[in-house]
Chains A and B, each alone.
Chain A
Amino acid sequence: MTDHFIEDKTTKVNVNLDNIGERVDFNDLKSGGFIKQRQKDLFAVRLRCPGGRMETKKLVEISKIADKYSKKGVVHFSFRQSLEILYVDYKEFRNIVAELEKIGQKVASCGPRVRVPTACGGCEYNPNGLTDTQGMAGMVDQKFFGTPTPHKFKTSFSGCPIDCARTKEMDFGFQGIVEPVWEDPLCTGCTICSEACKEDAIVSDPDTGKPIFDPKKCIFCGDCIRACPTEAWKPKRYGHIVRIGGKHGRHPMEALEVCTFLPDDKVAEAIEKTVEWYNANGKRGERIGNTIKRVGVQKYLDFMEPVFKHGSPVNYLAPGV
């Protein structure tokens, strides 16, 4: 049996598994996750860790398995937050997968398909976090993991405009935002909001101390809301800035913003429809950013209108004050 899902980074030679003796069940591994190393017969086994989060008990078990199967006793934390067990002999694939399966750990993906989503800590415990990035990453992993696409399709979730999960470099990225509103009667003119705003979108009136808001400068980070002692600044709504067509690699591209304030419950639909558009329009081996360049962003936006209408346009300005 020759499995074409094994990604060979050095040469494009497929690995013949006929001589292993036992049949390897690659139905469970259909999305790959085995990366050829320089060393003969040895592979890195990439685990599926959406958002880079893992229960400590599982981590202990994985470490035992890694210790058993890694010929060098090493793992690598991948750039997309997944743990890779290095120096695994391909003859052991069946065994390592079975042992990982027993503790509920799946192997990740390689090649032209929807990859495991990455995410920052999000609103669960990060004080800056505005969206549940971990919940989102888990949901996307459940729904879309391994879906075939013309080329790799990387998604990520950042909980705030600091954008630690680098949504600007993703094929499809979601970054949390919050729309601030201000209520005059609650404001004491303390001027903390103008100090807290790092974008100079708020200056304080020299006489009253009350905020003068420039919506063009606001990036929806929510610092004013968190800093305000009297709840005069409040969150009106939360959502995601949606970015498409970013990549890094040899020829990096910055993603385009295509929607703001997309609500949580429309994220899955946005991904589903975007993958559909990409599969219909993308050429084999072409990242979605290049497909959009070639076909035109307007065609994509027209197709996405039924989803993106639930958010706001990219040039949306908060009324604020």
Chain B
Amino acid sequence: MTEIKSNAQLDLRGVMCPINFVKTKLKLETLEAGEVLELVLDSGEPIQNVPKSIKEEGHKILEVKKEGDHFRLKVQKG
């Protein structure tokens, strides 16, 4: 599988809901449609909630990797 290149990164470890989603949203606003944001989210509430909200706002989650107690996501702006 070829590596999906990301245009921006955001490390949201330790950032609580819903601030993590708000930060994601603001970062996505700086990108063009089709560009990719790389996110790091804690397990538990953040990974339960943020991906749902990202989908609801019309963006696409291209890749999810579990790395210990956090997740690395690649999100394509819709």
Q: Which residues of A are at the interface with B, using a C-beta cutoff of 8 A?
A: 127, 188, 190-192, 195-196, 198, 209, 223, 226-227, 229-230
Contact = CB atoms under 8 A, between A and B. Distances in A.
Interface centre among A196, A229, A230 (most CB of B within 10 A): A229
Given A229-B61, A229-B64, A192 B53 contact: no
A180 to B, nearest CB: 14
B43 A226 contact: no
Interface of B: 43-44, 47-48, 51-53, 55-56, 60-66, 71
Nearest to B74: A229
B56 A191 contact: no
Contact of A198 (B48, B53, B55, B63): B48
A191 to B, nearest CB: 5
Contacts, number: 42
16 contacts: A188-B64, A190-B64, A190-B66, A191-B64, A191-B66, A192-B51, A195-B44, A195-B71, A196-B48, A209-B66, A223-B52, A226-B55, A227-B51, A229-B51, A229-B61, A229-B64
Contact of A229 (B43, B44, B55, B66): B55
Contacts of A195: 43-44, 47-48, 71
Given A192-B64, A229-B60, 4 more contacts: A190-B64, A192-B51, A226-B56, A227-B51
Contacts of B66: 190-191, 209
